[in-house]
Amino acid sequence: MVRSNTREEIVKAGMQCLLERGYNGVGVQDITEAAGVPKGSFYNHFDSKEALGAEIVARYGAQTTRREILTDQSMPPIKRLRAHFERLNGIFTDAKFKRGCILGNFSAELSGQSDLIRDGLRELYKQWTGDLEAAIADAKTRGDVANKSSAADLAAFLLDAYEGALLRARVERSAAPFKRFMDFAFTQILV
């Protein structure tokens, strides 16, 4: 008898395994063992590990916490942007820099291996950049950001810089790259 939540157990275990060990460091057997389901159950729900990876990317992009913070109109836009990045910094610092985000991890590992996952990552970059762009545009409208660059360019730059800071923080096992990012983002870029 197939458990009704087997698919969710596989996705949850897959997310954890892939974050901890990377896509190429994890096999279907590892994921099903972590989920506590038989290996055959995996193929009842997913055609391949690539299909699971694509679903994980889509779900990662659908998480609402990022959007809730960036679109919270009860806070000024610069505070929303700061709160957004501070939340991320806390997540990765609390994890002792042992994991990154699916966006950065999969981009580095899979951009040349899987068109399916790369397409999902491209959409996730677009969504996240759009959320940042909207907050920056709000800040520019209020006069809080005088930087002449477009909100779209500033958003893309911040996302690129943040992902780089995250990679370096993981290598150095230090929050110093996050501090540099925050200092430059909020005293040099978003001014």
Whether 1 maps to a domain, the answer reads no
Residue 11 sits in a domain whose CATH number is: 1.10.10.60
With respect to residue 40, please indicate whether it lies within any of the assigned structural domains. yes
14 phi, psi to nearest 5 deg: -60, -45
Give me the mean pLDDT over the 105-114 stretch: 92
Question: CB of 9 within 8 A of CB of 37?
Answer: yes
Please indicate, yes or no, whether residues 42 and 71 belong to a single structural domain of this protein. no
pLDDT of 3 over the 60 cut = no
Q: What is the pTM of this model?
A: 0.89
Residues 6+ apart with CB under 8 A from 102: 15, 18, 19, 56, 57, 60
Question: Using one digit for the tens of pLDDT, what is the confidence trace for 55-83?
Answer: 999 998 888 777 899 999 999 999 999 99
Q: What is the pLDDT of residues 19-49, one digit of tens each?
A: 889 999 999 999 999 999 999 999 999 999 9
Is residue 53 domain-resident?
no
Q: Are residues 36 and 91 in the same domain?
A: no
- CA 118 to the chain's CA centroid: 14
112 shares its domain with 83 = yes
What is the pLDDT, as a whole number, of residue 98?
81
Q: What is the mean pLDDT of residues 154-158?
A: 98
- pLDDT at residue 4 greater than cutoff 70: no
Mean pLDDT of 156-182: 96
In a domain, 37, yes or no: yes
Cβ distance 88 to 182 under 8 Å? Answer: no
Assign 122 a pLDDT band (cuts: 50, 70, 90).
very high
- Within a domain: residue 51? no
Range 165-182 average pLDDT: 96
Q: How far apart are CA 96 and CA 10, in angstroms?
A: 25
Q: Which DSSP state fits 63?
A: -
Domain boundaries, position 146: 60-189
When divided into structural domains, the chain yields a total of 2
pLDDT of res. 54: 96
CATH of the domain at 139: 1.10.357.10
In a domain, 52, yes or no: no
Shared domain for 33 and 69, answered yes or no, is no
Neighbours of 100 (CB within 10 A): 20
